Amino acid sequence: MRLQSTVQPWVWIITFALFGVGLFLGLARAPADYQQGETVRIMYVHVPAAWSALMVYTVMAVASIIGIVFRHPLADIAAKAAAPIGAAFCFLALATGSLWGKPMWGTWWVWDARLTSMFVLLLLYLGYMAIWQAIDDPRRASRIAAIVAIVGFINVPIVKFSVDWWYSLHQPASVFRTDGPTIHPSILTPLLIMGLAYSFLFLALHLISIRSEIGARRIRQTELARTGALQ
Amino acid sequence: MRSAFTSVVARDFTLAVRQGGSIGTAIGFFLTVIVLLPLGLGPDQQLLQRIAPGALWIALLLSVLLSADRLYQRDHDDGSLEIMALSSTPLEVVVLAKASVHWLTSGLPLAIAAPVFGFLLNLDTTLIVPLGIAMVTGSLALSLLASLGAAITVGLRQGGLLVSLLVLPLYVPVMIFGVLASSGAQSGIDNSGTALIILAAIVLAALVVTPFASAAALRSYMR
Amino acid sequence: MDFSAPHMSFVISSYAVTFVVLGALAVWIFARARSVTRRLQQLDDEGAERRRKSGHPQA
């Protein structure tokens, strides 16, 4: 706890600095794409959101494994606290992808391999959070939610593989390629900085969430003890 | 251990057959989807032929999902699941037995019936055998994954919605490779052989993962 | 950046939706943290009060 309160301001400073530099480089310095024009700038919020959605799910799954193997409550709390943040990133990746797709592909939604697997990831996040909502007892909820997270973690690469296969068979004739020519450093640098900025934002929000969750459990225990004492 | 497996299978199978509901419900629901589809899409024979394998798979998936949430419900409510958990038989074996019964009473009959119902959708007759094989294989994975969903939500009052939300992502690969394995050369190149092998691999993966995950979930509900 | 470029509204809306969603997430997380701290403080005070009244400071 004490370590957290000394680290936290620094995490926020780094987060804001990275966002400042990344947005400046991405919006003001990086050139517009010769094919996509200014629309390419959506990439600086879209791609980092997708990366972080995957990263947060990995964090969640690893924390769940630690929680289920070593029965450490902090790991369960860390997994639970990560889920809403990851779901928000995942939603943003889908929303900005859709906003990118409309001018480039002509439709809001394409059953593209990446969009589809991102959508499945959002479903996994929602299912995980629904489990925590549905089960009252935190110890039981953490066990069940960990199973859901781990099975989902095994499922993600299988879904990615199958959707890639599926899409390559059903691919429409003319489609805009997301993996265009090799990325120029003037575009790659802001992209990587934005990726780091998203990671630090996750870290900052995650730390606060973990602390609230620990507090919420203490409140729950105190209240339970009190109702027990009253009877 | 083997006898415990067979006795659970025999018990549950007898219960399912005596009650009669489950197989009938599954086939009835399946038939409803198959009949409603052409009514909604129009009677174009070529269109129906093109979408027939996918439509049959969707119907199979929904019917399996329909019967999934009550897989453990009764045994959990009356306490027999706890007795099974306390016995010397590992809970994983019980889970496997229950998933097999679910397959025998919903997946397998549907997989056998689906090519027949395919006539209603003008299914290409050369696809009847590959479709049957793919469905028999794939429905095994569907039942295993459904049993996982049912185990995760067994102690909850409103488990139904949650089962669909949890199982849907797991069904995506089965659906994709199932349809590929049963649509032959319809989409251009014939990938059905490869798809069937991958489908079988998915079944094996489900066979390894789901009994342990389901048993762990059931155990944490019993504490 | 050229604001008159075609499809600029899509670029602006994608940055806007990112800002709004991340902002809402942060507000929600901070609000929860505050309410948890406040409730803990409240419980702490009540507990201290009760112990003082019942004369069991170590309970």
> How do residues A45-65 score in pLDDT, each as one tens digit?
898 999 999 999 999 999 999
Of C1, C15, C28, nearest to A28 by CB-CB distance is: C1
Q: What would the DSSP string read from start to end of A6-22?
A: HHHHHHHHHHHHHHHHH
Chain A residues contacting B via beta carbons under 8 Å: 68, 120, 123-124, 126-127, 130-131, 134-135, 140, 143-144, 147-148, 150-152, 154-155, 158-159, 161-163, 165-166, 169-170
Burial A75-98 (b: 16+ CB within 10 A, else e): bbbbbbbbbbbbbbbbbbbbbbbb
Neighbouring chains of B at 3+ CB pairs under 8 Å are: A
What's the token pair of residue A154?
Answer: 């095994």
Flag whether the pTM goes above 0.90: no
Q: Identify the band that residue A229 occupies on the pLDDT scale cut at 50, 70 and 90.
A: low
Q: Region of A177 please: left (phi>0), alpha (psi -120 to 50) or beta.
A: beta
Q: What would the DSSP string read from start to end of B71-85?
A: TTHHHHHSSHHHHHH
- Whether A63 maps to a domain, the answer reads yes
Alpha-carbon distance of B195 to B57, in angstroms, equals 14
Neighbouring chains of C at 3+ CB pairs under 8 Å are: A
Backbone angles phi, psi at A33, to 5 degrees: -75, 145
With contact defined as beta carbons under 8 Å apart, do A194 and A45 qualify? yes
Q: Give the count of domains, chain B.
A: 1
Asked whether the beta carbons of residue C22 and residue A92 sit closer than 8 angstroms, the reply is: yes
- Whether A176 maps to a domain, the answer reads no
Residues 6+ apart with CB under 8 A from C49: none
Give the model confidence (pLDDT) of A160-176 as tens digits. 888 887 877 765 544 44
Alpha-carbon distance of A186 to A163, in angstroms, equals 32
**Could you list the residue range(s) of the whole structural domain that residue A106 is in?**
2-171+185-230
Question: Which CATH number do you get for residue A128?
Answer: 1.20.120
- Mutate one of A119, A147, A164, A167 to test the B interface: name it (highest B CB count within 10 A): A147
Asked whether the beta carbons of residue A169 and residue B187 sit closer than 8 angstroms, the reply is: yes
With contact defined as beta carbons under 8 Å apart, do A45 and A92 qualify? yes
Give the model confidence (pLDDT) of A58-87 as tens digits. 999 999 999 999 988 899 999 999 999 999
Helix, strand, coil % over all residues of chain A, rounded to 5: 85, 0, 15
- Nearest in space to A155 (alpha carbons), one of A127, A197, A120: A120
User: One digit per residue, pLDDT tens: chain B, 223 residues?
Assistant: 557 778 777 877 777 777 766 677 788 888 898 889 889 988 888 888 888 888 999 999 988 888 777 778 777 878 878 888 787 778 888 889 888 888 888 888 888 888 888 888 888 888 888 888 899 999 999 999 999 998 988 878 777 778 888 889 999 999 989 888 887 766 666 777 888 899 999 999 999 999 999 999 888 888 6
**Could you list the residue range(s) of the whole structural domain that residue B142 is in?**
2-222
Q: Which residues from chain B sit within 8 angstroms of residue A162, using beta carbons?
A: 172-173, 176-177, 198
Establish whether chain A is in contact with chain B, requiring a minimum of 3 CB pairs below 8 angstroms: yes
Mean pLDDT to the nearest integer, A12-21: 90
Residue B20 has a pLDDT of: 64
Residue A79 has a pLDDT of: 94
- Mutate one of C30, C36, C41, C44 to test the A interface: name it (highest A CB count within 10 A): C36
Q: Give the count of domains, chain A.
A: 1
> What ipTM does the predicted assembly reach?
0.85
How much is the mean pLDDT over chain A? 85
- Whether A59 maps to a domain, the answer reads yes
Helices (H) and strands (E) in chain C, counts: 1, 0
